[in-house]
Amino acid sequence: MIVVAGESLVDIVVDAEGDTVAEAVGGSPLNVALALARLEVPTVLITQTGHDEYGGRIADRLAGSGVELVAAPTDSGRTATATARIGRDGSATYGFDLHWSLPHQELPACDVLHVGSLGAVLEPGRHSVRDLVEQAWARGVFVSFDPNVRPAFVDDRRSAWRDVESLADRAGLVKLSEDDVALLHPGADPEDIARSLLAGERTDLVLLTRGAEGASAYAVTGTTQLSMDVPAAVAEPVDTIGAGDAFMAGALTVLLESGAVGDFGAGMPTDEKSLESLLHAASAVAAVTCARRGAEPPTRSELPDGWPD
């Protein structure tokens, strides 16, 4: 079983006239949990929702895909929202109604704990997320981390990167996007940043997504670092919403089913063939998501025959 901890919210799109034109359940951790469940992985999402219509929508969406929901109530009683306001020139500005105050949680028995995005950085709830990571650490449970950085919440790049490093140090798997690197380390080579995270005490694998350019994996075995690059899976793109989260879910599913996550991840892939297979499998899940509007990851039956092999 995989436990995911982090924010869930509703994305709202408002046009130039001030009219709401679209609403969708979202949040990176929620999207990862949804994608895992659709890949037939038993999944629990630990999050916060309000006692309102949006909270009901979140519960219904997760239940529809078989995700077990552990939802602490928000302090305000409102479910978090992210609003995109579209200007007459097509540009978008973003605003958030999000107060992350997740109380202490006991980590359920599980094989993997996945954390990331706003839930891992916003006070005061970040302390509960990091406590879950410490609980996982103490039990030998594998941890994965996707910072999925949001520009609206980065006031100080150096401080934000320190937060990423401190949590990454506790994770066997870290996923980054080129957008994360561009935001936190403008002008830096994403490969250099990805490789630097392999110095973490527990980090054996770093995945770097490059959008339409594909994805890369960096692993360490003994004193040797390996790398592998693959092109993006073929797709007719509609949008990229939720693609990174689907990629994350695909990678976690492969690692769980291959037995790689046991004993702090002692069986993580450390050869080029295994890294290539992992990247292709995760990319296939992301490609189907890109071919649909919004964060709609595929079910296992919608993937190529024999996936993930």
pLDDT score at 207: 97
Domains and CATH numbers, the chain: 28-42+99-302 (3.40.1190.20)
In contact, 209 and 178? CB cutoff 8 Å: yes
pLDDT at 215 over 90: yes
Question: Average pLDDT of the chain?
Answer: 91
pLDDT at 261 over 90: no
Stretch among 21-25, 37-41, 236-240 having the lowest mean pLDDT:
236-240
pLDDT in tens, 119-172: 999 999 999 999 999 999 999 999 999 999 888 888 889 999 999 999 999 999
Task: Measure Cα distances from 132 to 88, 118, 129, 149, 271 in Å.
Answer: 44, 15, 5, 20, 31
pLDDT score at 91: 61
**Mean pLDDT score, 241-262:** 93
Contacts of 46 (CB under 8 A, 6+ apart): 3, 4, 5, 6, 70, 72, 102, 105, 132
Stretch among 18-22, 30-34, 62-66, 202-206 having the lowest mean pLDDT:
18-22
pLDDT in tens, 105-120: 999 999 999 999 999 9
